[in-house]
Amino acid sequence: QVQLVQSGAEVKKPGASVKVSCKASGYTFTTYGISWVRQAPGQGLEWMGWISAYNGNTNYAQKLQGRVTMTTDTSTSTAYMELRSLRSDDTAVYYCARSHDGRAPWFDPWGQGTLVTVSS
Amino acid sequence: QSVLTQPPSASGTPGQRVTISCSGSSSNIGTNYVYWYQQLPGTAPKLLIYRNNQRPSGVPDRFSGSKSGTSASLAISGLRSEDEADYYCAAWDDSLSSVVFGGGTKLTVL
């Protein structure tokens, strides 16, 4: 079955970077993209961006431009999301999701989520 | 605040039909498909409706989606206790070149 498995929880200090991985299985990795969505504690969903697993094209949310980088490793069917210059308001659960279209929120399935806590 | 507007809460009794609204604008719902997600407590969101009114395999036909103009709705018929969750609408926004979500609606089954 199609599955996305994410790396474990992280605790980081303000100003540091975090890199979350998302390993895909059960489908041909390069025929879909991967989107990243985060959810702050008790809050709603926020789209962070998308990467094509076919050619590496990316589209980042304007709010995160310059701080986020999304990459893929097709040899291991793994996507990565790196967020730099972390602040306390980056504390959230970060989800990856298989993305059918880089210009539509067609996300299915989702990874289990990775809690990133930013605290001094 | 969110680009798409949803009521923060909704409720119903078992067996009832409830609807959740999602209001947007011409740059998002008005010109693009709407998607709906269900998030059960402590779990990742799950796709419920895609392209306005299509159900992925495995989603019961008790769930249905519709769109008219710059608004969309999710209807849940034959409400069950296991439907108690947060529901989010989403769409692409041409002006922002970004996916936008509603703020979410917490559904309580009384």
pLDDT, tens digit, for every residue of A8-45?
Answer: 999 999 999 999 999 999 999 999 999 999 999 999 99
Distances (CA, A) of A48 to A91, B96, B97: 14, 13, 12
Q: Is A45 on the interface with B (CB under 8 A)?
A: yes
**Which of B2, B92, B96 faces A105 most closely, judged by CB atoms?**
B92
Kindly report the nearest CA distance between residue A99 and chain B, in angstroms: 11
> What per-residue confidence (pLDDT) applies to B1?
86
Kindly report the nearest CA distance between residue A43 and chain B, in angstroms: 8
- The owner of tokens 């796709």 is B47
- How many C-beta atoms lie closer than 10 Å to residue A87's C-beta? 11
pLDDT, tens digit, for every residue of B29-83?
Answer: 999 999 999 999 999 999 999 999 999 999 999 999 999 999 999 999 999 999 9
Chain B residues within an 8 Å CB radius of A113:
44
Name the residue in chain A with its Cα closest to that of B106. Answer: A44
Q: Is A35 on the interface with B (CB under 8 A)?
A: yes
Q: Is A29 helix (H, G, I), strand (E, B) or coil?
A: helix
Q: Is A105 on the interface with B (CB under 8 A)?
A: yes
- The owner of tokens 């504390």 is A91
> What per-residue confidence (pLDDT) applies to A3?
98
Q: Which long-range contacts (CB under 8 A, 24 or more apart) does B8-11 make?
A: B8/B103, B8/B104, B8/B105, B8/B106, B9/B105, B9/B106, B9/B107, B9/B108, B10/B105, B10/B106, B10/B107, B10/B108, B11/B107, B11/B108, B11/B109, B11/B110
A105 close to A59: Cβ distance less than 8 angstroms: no
Longest CA–CA separation in chain A, Å: 41
